[in-house]
Structure 1
Amino acid sequence: MINKLKFKNVILILSLGFILTACSQKSERAQEYNKPALYWYNKMLKDISTGFLEEADDTYTSLESEHRNSPLIPTALLILANAHIDNEEYQLANFYLDEYIKRFALSKNIDYVRYLKIKANFLGFSYSLREQQLIEDTIKEIEEYRNLFTDSKYMPLVDTMSARLYMAKASLDKEIADLYKRLDKPKAAKYYEEKVKESWVDAKEIEEVEVPLYRSLFEENLF
């Protein structure tokens, strides 16, 4: 019993120390301003390397606010986007990628940035029944990518994601058709069955599994 109390006290002390340290760091951060662009950039890299992505976001805000035209901004945006992709925070990744595309659309590596945006959307799919519009939008982005960057070295990866997306879309349409059949709505079921037929995916190859095919497509590690 005494050992358990000692253990709980140690945990309490450590937790309190962690909270006080975090508050102290936030207080120090709040007092920082008017620093060179390289200072904020290096601080952002340190935040990312130590796993403090939220702090890295705040540090980037300081960099962008104080040095909006710094040549470090494009690189910082890409580093943050990749960090959030690695951390499975795809919406935040897209925020930085959209900002890059808006501000540096004429960049020589814009094909890489557009590829990253497609990749972030692709990896962000969890339950496709809730992501139907995102599938449609990403397929549209892929078609635009093919038109704009025909010679891009990222095209094979984009093509792989495209194939997976079309199969996911066909699987989703089949799931919806089956649902309408169970609800005794033949017109709606036929509409989605026709959508499956219009795709290049053979409906006979879509197997029913406990984990839906359209989910397993995105859970495999392709990159």
Structure 2
Amino acid sequence: MIAPKDIVLASKVSLLTYCHKHDLPIISSMGAGCKSDPTRIFIGDISSSTEDPLSRSTRRRLRALGVASGIPVVYSTEKPGPGKAQLLPLPEEEFQKGKVGEDAQGLKLGLSVYDVGYLVEEVYRGKSVLSGITTRLALVRWRKPEAGSTIKVDVEGQKNSIVRLGDLVCMTKEEANVHEREVVKGDKTPEQFYDEEIVELVESRLREEKSFEKYR
């Protein structure tokens, strides 16, 4: 069963895509739920809207259809905080995407190319979380996974790699190679290998991604 919210978002994305590709003028409203500060309302291109879960989710789906910018939107930069109302998350099963085909063989990764784009562009702002460099980027596990926790077998002959968005961080390829050697495959924890400022920055980005999970 598809969640009503997912149907609404799919319809919104379909309409925006059609108007964009046919040069029809349109302006779209983004997330306003639980927002109360009118000074935080802005109008701008969807590619520049920030701190808005609906914008993120809409951008992610539009990007999958080949639309990265060119749609004006109304959005709020107001952040949730203590004492403010919050939207209740839907059940976890509503967010499970895709099915494993009965004839699939080999190893499948649980993330799509659009998930990768979302992580790099939205969560890590298109740069390495370690150095701020914007080129030669890669995603790598932040922590060493527990033994036996990375592979599951759903269908005979089909192995599925278990990796979640919240497991990954963005670094340059060179930094990722060092991190993988010392942390993912080595015997160090991030706290032992990096200074406190870097660890807190990464953890804050992972918490941020987690807070937006219910909107994807």
TM-score by length of 2: 0.28
Higher strand share: 2
TM-score by length of 1: 0.28
Higher relative contact order (CA 8 A, sep 6+): 2
Which one has a bigger Cα radius of gyration?
1
